[in-house]
Amino acid sequence: MSITNQQLFDRAQRTIPGGVNSPVRAFRQVGGVPRFIDRAEGPYMIDAEGTRYIDYIGSWGPMIVGHAHPEVTAAVQKAATRSLSFGAPTADEIDMAEAICKLMPAVEQVRLVSSGTEAGMSAIRLARGFTGRDAIVKFEGCYHGHADSLLVKAGSGLLTFGNPSSGGVPADLAKHTLVLEFNNIAQIEELFAKRGSEIACVIVEPIAGNMNFIRGTQAWHQRLRALCTEHGAMLVWDEVMTGFRVALGGAQQVYGIRPDMVVMGKVIGGGMPLAAFGGRADVMAKLSPLGSVYQAGTLSGNPLAVAAGMAQLRLIQQPGFYERLSATTQKLMRGLEAAAARHGVPFCTDSEGGMFGFYFSTRLPQNYPDMADADVEVFKRFFHAMLDRGVYLAPSMFEAGFVSAAHGDVEIEATLSAADAAFAELAR
Ligand code: PLP
């Protein structure tokens, strides 16, 4: 063996803070050594030691057709020969905008950016610019990227403005963000009754994927929609994770609800740095160069990212794609539940399309406090028992999991057999 993950981790920590370029990759919640990935193919990732894993992270969502899909790779290679960036408009980015607007009816106009963070940050600026209001509402446990206004936790009381949840975020800025409990109708009603005229937007992950997998209830989402309409606030759905993942039309298709603005990322870039925000044409018209809200990007609409994204968007529009993806996810979920039951481990799952969550509990969580109560020690043991058997799950119980179209019966059976052994270890 030429090099180990441990050697790479030691070396990485000398020049990269914590050895990683995004914190969750450091395995802090589960302990142990992060796997340094050498390459990936279809449903598999292969680390620097040559060990192969069945991958249920999929780069945290984008890799819905599997790794190194020949059509996506070929599209990027072809685009690369025409230059890596122009900093000027292209016909291909119009194709992408048209595809997004067709697939997500709430998106009448869209702007391409390079990360979900950038998209979320820009959407909030636009909501503030459009409404002329400063306050925004988010929900505890939802993640919308690391823009300052969104790294905020709840204040001391329901109607108090939020406090920074990260060092470096000014309290003066955080005070404009109100943080409420996910799925709590009474709280949002009370807030709008008291402060409705101050609120620029409500931003929400329709199915939260950053506190494991927690569905917003239909009734709660309908109430959010109605309250925003009534008070002139923008309803912003963060579909960075759910978009083109839980269904072709995203969570909007699942719930049949039309937000005013939508934030997208992950799947639309096919694994390249590409994200987008869009929505009502009258709102998007406020954006520079038409309107007063500034937003820009050197690499926005990057030709390689657009090529990868378009290739992936073509693949996911093939007939039966989501039926097959959901069936694979369902097979995995039912199999995990059955394995846990065989060993008497309290366990349940939830999923939509190619996105899933599992919990060491008999009841599905409804909000962040439910998740925060979960037993992290059990999760850790399960995670390592699976990793030792070649199954790569998210190294945090606060993350959703992802299945790709490249996962077939062979991978699901192998995962379930690993899970059977892992649950047996937990039961001991
Ligand atoms: N919004 C959601 C729902 C996400 O899950 C993420 C990332 O995981 C983001 C926004 C931020 O996207 P990015 O990591 O591309 O900045």
Burial of 87 (0-12, 13-18, 19+ CB in 10 A): exposed
**Which atom of ligand 1 lies at the shortest distance from residue 118's CA?**
16
> In this structure, what are the phi and psi dihedrals at residue 219, rounded to the nearest 5 degrees?
-65, -40
Residues of the chain scoring pLDDT < 70: 1, 157-159
Asked if residues 257 and 222 have their Cβ atoms less than 8 Å apart, the reply is yes
- Supply the residue whose CA is at minimum distance from atom 5 of ligand 1: 241
Q: Residue 357: which of 337, 378, 342, 386 has the closest Cα?
A: 337
> What separation in Å is there between the alpha carbon of 240 and the centre of ligand 1?
6
273 Cα nearest atom in ligand 1: 15
Residue whose Cα lies nearest atom 10 of ligand 1: it is 144
How far, in Å, from the CA of 287 to the mean position of ligand 1? 22
**Ligand 1 pocket test: which of 22, 118, 144, 396 has the largest number of ligand atoms within 8 Å of its C-beta?**
144
Residues 97/301, Cβ–Cβ less than 8 Å: no
Minimal-distance CA residue to ligand 1 atom 12 = 116
Give residue 424 CA to ligand 1 midpoint distance, Å.
35
CATH number for the region 70-316 comes to 3.40.640.10
Mutate to test the pocket of ligand 1, among 21, 117, 239, 246 (most ligand atoms within 8 A of CB): 117
Contact 307, 85 (CB under 8 A): no
Q: How far is CA 65 from the centre of its chain?
A: 16
Residues contacting ligand 1 via CB (< 6 Å): 60, 115-117, 120, 143-145, 205, 209-210, 238, 240-241, 265, 275
Helix ranges (H only) for 85-242 are 91-103, 116-131, 171-174, 185-195, 218-231
Centroid of ligand 1 to alpha carbon of 264 (angstroms)? 9
Between CA 402 and CA 355 the distance in angstroms is 5
Ligand 1 atom with the shortest distance to the CA of 145: 11
Looking at ligand 1, which atom is closest to the CA of residue 242?
3
ipTM: 0.99
Q: Give dist(CA 183, CA 340) in Å, integer.
A: 28
What amino acid positions are annotated as catalytic residues? 143, 238, 266
The model carries a pTM of 0.98
* For ligand 1, mutation pick of 63, 146, 240 (most atoms within 8 Å of CB): 240
CA of residue 115 to ligand 1 center, whole Å: 7
Q: Give the per-residue pLDDT at 41.
A: 98
In angstroms, the CA 419 to CA 399 distance is 18
What is the Cα–Cα distance from 424 to 49, expressed in whole angstroms?
A: 27
pLDDT by residue (tens digit) across 376-400?
999 999 999 999 999 999 999 999 9
How does strand 44-47 pair with strand 37-41? antiparallel
**Among 149, 210, 215, residue to substitute to test ligand 1 (most atoms within 8 Å of Cβ):** 210
Q: How far is the CA of 368 from the centre of ligand 1 (A)?
A: 18
- 109 alpha carbon – ligand 1 mean position (Å): 21
> Which of 102, 169, 161, 95 lies closest to 134 in space, CA to CA?
161
Q: Are 224 and 235 in contact (CB under 8 A)?
A: yes
- 31's CB contacts (< 8 A; 6+ apart) are 380, 384
Distance CA(187)–CA(94), nearest Å, equals 41
- Ligand 1: residue whose CA is nearest its atom 13: 116
Whether CATH 3.90.1150.10 fits 5-68+320-427: yes
Domain ranges of the chain: 5-68+320-427, 70-316
SS (H, E, C) 368-386: HHHHHCCCHHHHHHHHHHH
Ligand 1 atom with the smallest distance to the CA of 120 is 10
